[in-house]
A and B are shown apart, each in its own frame.
Chain A
Amino acid sequence: MSNLGLLLQDVLEEPKLIDWEWIRENFWEDIVPAFQGHIFLSFVSVAVALLIALPVGVVSARYRKVYPPVTFVTGILYSIPSLALFAILISIPGVAIGPAPVIIALVAYSLLILIRNTVAGIDSVPPETIDAARGMGLTNRQILFRVELPLALPVIVAGIRIATVTIIGIATIGAYVNGGGLGVLIFDGINRQFPTMIIAGAVLATALAVVADLLLLGLERYLRPWARARRT
């Protein structure tokens, strides 16, 4: 209770939320590595998740019976709160705290979104297009790689976009189990009762998510030349 009172007093007596001096002094030492760590965590996680989700999505689109159990399992994974999932992963013997359990959890969160969009993308290919490809003598494999996947790509990229923004947000919590990234600034800020660090971490994580969102939106539009043609 006395802690609470002291903290309230601190907040009231310290109207300055951002200490620019601290930011200048610790920019290269604290902020830049945290930012780089965050990009690393997010990028690796989405990349690994894609390597799993693409084949699973293609198989689910082909063999419809596989799809409900796949969405059920990945849906359950998706709804487990991240702090809980990190905690469960680091209690598995052999998994040490650090980036590894964080990346595993982030991959698990991306799967539902990526698989669902892969299936939706392949489903969106008109059956006439596939018939035409077959009529031209393409094999099933050629149809998949030359017709279905290229046409499904914008929808898949839309999934990558949602997954990336989600992952960048959740990755901040990974710092609690020593995963690194911008969460380090936020948690240190909480522990030291130093708002500047919290704000620096929060603002940079949000900015990273917004930039990733816009870049992937640009990619999505670029991959949909037919939509661009229609608009102009």
Chain B
Amino acid sequence: MFSKILEVYTRPDFPEKLREHVVLSLVALLVAVAIAMPVALLIRNTRLGAAIAINIGNVGRAVPSLAILALALPLLGIGFASALVALTALAIPPILINASTGLREVNKDVIDAARGMGLSGGQILSRIQLPIAAPVIFAGIRTSAVQTVASATLATFIGAGGLGDLIVEGLQRRGPEILLAGALAVAALAIITELGFGALERAFTPKGLKIVQKKRS
């Protein structure tokens, strides 16, 4: 069984499917960051904005990822582009929620102190709010990234390729080795994403915050 699975990985179409999966996930994540971050920055000082972000997040959590992908089919047609739109829509809520709450929860006294020291609004954002909120923002991006890699598996159902193709092929042709090869590759990709973004999150945590975290634990 094990050697049969390895055989699937040497198939000429495997690198192509892996590439499709990674490109689809990565582009969706980048577009989601590019949309969610400016919105989070815009709404960071308004109460209404916070309420909107939280509600978008809650609704986003309630809509199943399969539903969004399947709905993209009648609305946008088959293929890469509609999967990309669906995955981007799925990736936005966690980033938006974390970025907006992260920025909001920066201690007001710290901001007052910065203002007292003569920092402008832009300086406060770039030197105080963003660094302090960075761990929370990256946690949101990590959640989104893992979720996007997982949902990209479902892109196969709307003809957008990816590693889900192997799982579907394995199920339809009763080829357990193809199915397992696809499933293990997707699982590995998701776990690598989880660990990789976890490392990124730690790298972007300012030194001062790490000391505080250590003291608390």
Residues of A within 8 A of B (CB): 3-4, 7-8, 11, 17, 75-76, 79-85, 87-88, 91, 165-166, 168-170, 172-173, 176-177, 183, 186-187, 189-190, 193, 195, 198-199, 201-202, 205-206, 209-210, 213
| A83 contact from B67, B71, B164, Cβ within 8 A | B164
Provide the residues of chain B in CB contact with A165, threshold 8 Å.
61-62
Interchain CA distance A189-B157 in the complex, whole Å: 11
Do B77 and A83 have beta carbons less than 8 Å apart?
A: no
**B interface SS class:** helix
B residues 130-164 in Cβ contact with A at 8 Å? 146, 149-151, 153-154, 157-159, 164
Interchain CA distance A82-B74 in the complex, whole Å: 24
Nearest CB on A from B91, distance (A): 14
Residues of B within 8 A of A (CB): 58-59, 61-68, 70-71, 73-75, 77-79, 146, 149-151, 153-154, 157-159, 164, 167, 170-171, 176, 179-180, 182-184, 186-187, 190-191, 193-194
Do B183 and A79 have beta carbons less than 8 Å apart?
A: no
Nearest CB on A from B70, distance (A): 5
| A84 contact from B70, B153, B193, Cβ within 8 A | B153
Most interface-central of A83, A91, A172 (chain B CB within 10 A)? A83
Do A202 and B64 have beta carbons less than 8 Å apart?
A: yes
Known: A4-B159, A84-B153, A84-B183. A79 touches B191 (CB 8 A): yes
Interchain CA distance A66-B171 in the complex, whole Å: 38
| B73 contact from A84, A170, A173, A198, Cβ within 8 A | A198
Provide the residues of chain B in CB contact with A87, threshold 8 Å.
167, 170-171, 179-180, 182-183
Q: What are 27 A-B contacts defined by CB distance under 8 Å?
A: A4-B77, A4-B78, A7-B78, A17-B74, A76-B191, A80-B186, A80-B190, A80-B191, A81-B190, A82-B150, A84-B183, A84-B184, A87-B182, A169-B64, A173-B66, A173-B154, A176-B171, A189-B70, A190-B158, A193-B74, A195-B73, A198-B70, A198-B73, A201-B67, A202-B68, A205-B67, A209-B63
Interchain CA distance A11-B194 in the complex, whole Å: 37
Do B167 and A206 have beta carbons less than 8 Å apart?
A: no
Provide the residues of chain B in CB contact with A176, threshold 8 Å.
171
Do B183 and A172 have beta carbons less than 8 Å apart?
A: no
Interchain CA distance A3-B184 in the complex, whole Å: 30
Residue of A nearest to B163 (CB): A84
Interchain CA distance A107-B210 in the complex, whole Å: 34
Q: Which 8 A-B pairs have the closest CB atoms?
A: A202-B67, A81-B150, A195-B74, A169-B64, A84-B183, A209-B62, A87-B183, A84-B186
